[in-house]
Amino acid sequence: MIEQRIASFPAWAIAGYLEPQRGHLAIDGVDAIELARQHDTPLFVFSESRIRRNIERLTRAAREIARPVKFCYAAKANSTLAILRAVRDAGIDIEVNSGGELYKAQRAGFRPNQIIFNGTSKTEAEISEAIVAGIYAINVDSIYEIELIERTAERLGRRARIALRLVPEVETRSHPGLQTALLTSKFGISAAEVSEAFARALARPELVHLCGIHIHIGSQTPDVEPFARAFEAVWRHLIEIYDRTCHAIEHINLGGGFPVNYLRDRSQADALPAHEREMLEADLDPAEVLREVMRVAREEARRARADHLLDRITFLFEPGRSIVADAGVLLTTVRNVKRRPETGDTWLLTDAGFNLLLSMSTYHWYYHLISAERADAPHDMPYKVAGPLCDSGDVYFDIERQGRLPDYRLLPRDVRPGEVLALLNAGAYTVAQMFAYNGRPLPAIVMVRDDGCPRLVRRRDSYEDLLMNELD
């Protein structure tokens, strides 16, 4: 009976979490339309239980390889304090990318040995804060940064733990803007400088302790092979440094990149080019990645007769998107409807623009759109959907005709002003990047707790908040 009920759900639905109930979209059993009435729109809604389930999927994968694995949630995906606390309570650690994210991680209750610090342009103040906090590792992005950390540690009379971020020159089938492991990217230390970087990192052991190597191949990676190739590149450097110095690395950080399936509902998949479609519908199991990395690790260790080194290694991963993307929904209300007799188009103008969905503008990212009021109705009517901003690029379709977004969105017939829509899989890189363009106050955020009770975790900005830091 349950299987029959699930089979009748819309393709976008996730049983027990995201599903139609009495015609409306329900999020963990909570009526989305009632939330919109209580808190107005645009409104972000997150599921604590979905975050926990996504983390459990990762920790189950780690158990399969019977090796020490440390997951550090990438706070850049969404650093809302309630999200960070949910992640902490689920039992994993955190990766931060700025002094602000470090501050929020500490406020959320993460211990120093749970925190790693990434970034290409760390300030001396941020490095000082990380060293004073005594965090697990600062991921170093250049030789210059090693020197900066040394100077800062010496001034503070403290010792810093560091890991070197290397460029493995591994390409993935992800979006070009998410490729971070190529020499053409801005990240990391290239192969030509690796030896010098290691020598520099080991020169002042009283000030810095080289505890790890870090790489990151990019986000939304649909294949397992790039992870394995990146590990091979890192392992060679680890062996090289051990042979020259007898210094054993404690951990290898393979970054994040586990993908999210943005195309559970494939009704508009054919409107996307093949490479975009394959990336957006990627459903790579983290367990497959960990098993393949471990297989390569064992093979490489045997080949180099370095099993003793592998036995000491903890594997680190920095998942972000895979933890919060499908745990968040953005509710938006249709505020205006207009028809173009000349083109035959019907336009829906909503209250959620690219100031809340920056990736939809910068990367032409696809977020599936449904009616939250008629969630179980046929979605077969094409509309042009756009946000409220005074900008021609504030649209939910492919204005540049590159074929990277559908030209129309499919919704029920006769959508009218006041109808609430929902953008799915909107939990990652939305809230973290939103901004008050056109003087639009930033939206509220609701978290549906594990007990099924919705709680306001970020109030909606007021007009007065727009002036908060301005001096009159």
> Any idea where the domains of the chain sit in the sequence?
2-47+325-467, 118-319
Confidence grade of residue 216 (pLDDT, cut at 50, 70, 90): confident
Any known ligand binding at 387?
no
231 band by pLDDT with thresholds 50, 70 and 90: confident
For 384, the token pair is: 């042009």
Task: Read off the pLDDT band of 180 (50, 70, 90).
Answer: low
In this prediction, what percent of the chain has a pLDDT beyond 90? Answer: 72
Number of neighbouring beta carbons within 10 Å of residue 404: 17
pLDDT, residue 182, reads: 56
The whole-number pLDDT of residue 1 equals 34
- For the residues 140-153, what does the mean pLDDT come to? 97
Catalytic hit among 72, 246, 390, 453: 390
What are the beta bridge partners of residue 447?
A: 46, 455
Half-sphere exposure in the Cβ direction for 389 (13 Å, CA): 22
Task: Report, as an integer, the average pLDDT of 178-206.
Answer: 82
pLDDT of residue 4: 38
Please state, rounded to an integer, the average pLDDT across all residues of the chain: 92
Rg of the chain's alpha carbons, rounded to an integer? 23
Burial of 224 (0-12, 13-18, 19+ CB in 10 A): middle
372, pLDDT greater than 80? yes
pLDDT value of residue 184:
67
SS3 of 225-291: the string is: HHHHHHHHHHHHHHHHHHHHHCCCCCEEECCCCCCCCCCCCCCCHHHCCHHHHHHHCCCCCHHHHHH
Question: Please, which residues have CB within 8 angstroms of residue 188's CB and are 6 or more apart in sequence?
Answer: 141, 165, 166, 167, 180, 181, 215
| Residue in the block written with tokens 């933890």 | 323
- Please determine, for residue 102, whether its predicted confidence score (pLDDT) is greater than 90: yes
User: Sorting pLDDT into bands at 50, 70 and 90, what band is 5?
Assistant: very low
Ligand-binding annotation for 73, yes or no, is no
Residue 347 to residues 171, 341, 381, 400, 404: CA-CA distances in angstroms?
39, 11, 12, 17, 20
What mean pLDDT do residues 93-114 have? 98
DSSP 191: G
Residue 246 has pLDDT above 90, yes or no: no
**CA-CA distances (angstroms) from residue 426 to 78, 269, 318, 388?**
11, 18, 19, 18
200 in helix, strand or coil?
Answer: helix
Are the beta carbons of 20 and 422 closer than 8 angstroms?
Answer: no
Per-residue pLDDT at 232: 84
- Strand-pair category, 93-96 with 115-117: parallel
What digits encode the pLDDT tens for the residues 88-100?
999 999 999 999 9
Please write the tens of the pLDDT for every residue from 11-69.
Answer: 999 999 999 999 999 999 999 999 999 999 999 999 999 999 999 999 999 998 888 99
Does the pLDDT at position 6 exceed 70? Answer: no
Res. 364: pLDDT tops 70 = yes
What does the alpha-carbon distance between residue 386 and residue 347 come to, in Å, rounded to a whole number? 7
DSSP-derived secondary structure for 10-79: -TT-BTTTEEEETTEEEETTEEHHHHHHHH-SSEEEEEHHHHHHHHHHHHHHHHHHTS-EEEEEEGGG--
The length of the chain is 472
3: pLDDT strictly greater than 50: no
Most confident of 121-130, 281-290, 309-318: 121-130
Residue 171: pLDDT band by 50, 70, 90 thresholds? low
The CATH architecture one would assign to domain 2-47+325-467 is: Beta Barrel (2.40)
The whole-angstrom separation of Cα 280 and Cα 288 is 18
Per-residue pLDDT at 315 exceeds 60: yes
Q: pLDDT confidence of 2, banded at 50, 70, 90?
A: very low
pLDDT at position 179, please?
54
Give the DSSP letter of residue 224. S
Does the annotation flag 257 for ligand binding? yes
Cα dihedral 358/361/366/368 (nearest 10): 70
Residue 227 is predicted with a pLDDT of 85
CB 167 within 8 A of CB 238: no
- Alpha carbon 120 to chain centroid distance? 18
381-398: pLDDT as tens digits: 999 999 999 999 999 998
Tokens 């990047």 appear where? 433
**pLDDT band at residue 256 under the 50/70/90 scheme:** confident
Residue 300 confidence class, pLDDT cut points 50, 70, 90: confident
80 pLDDT more than 50: yes
Does residue 321 have a known ligand-binding role? Answer: yes
Of 36, 46, 47, 44, the C-alpha closest to 372 is: 36
Range 118-319: architecture per CATH: Alpha-Beta Barrel (3.20)
pLDDT computed for residue 173 by the predictor = 60
* Orientation angle between helical segments 225-245 and 194-203, nearest 10 degrees: 50
Question: Is 390 a residue of the active site?
Answer: yes
What does the pLDDT read at residue 181? 57
Could you read off the pLDDT of 414-461 as tens digits, one per residue? Answer: 999 999 999 999 999 999 999 999 999 999 999 999 999 999 999 999
Say how many C-beta atoms besides its own lie within 10 A of residue 343's C-beta: 9
Rounded CA-CA distance 198/206 in Å is: 15
* Contact (CB, 8 A) for 254 and 293: yes
Q: Judge whether 144 and 170 are in contact, CB under 8 Å.
A: no
φ, ψ for residue 150 (rounded to 5)? -60, -50
328 is in an annotated binding site: no
Q: Are 238 and 309 in contact, with CB atoms under 8 Å apart?
A: yes
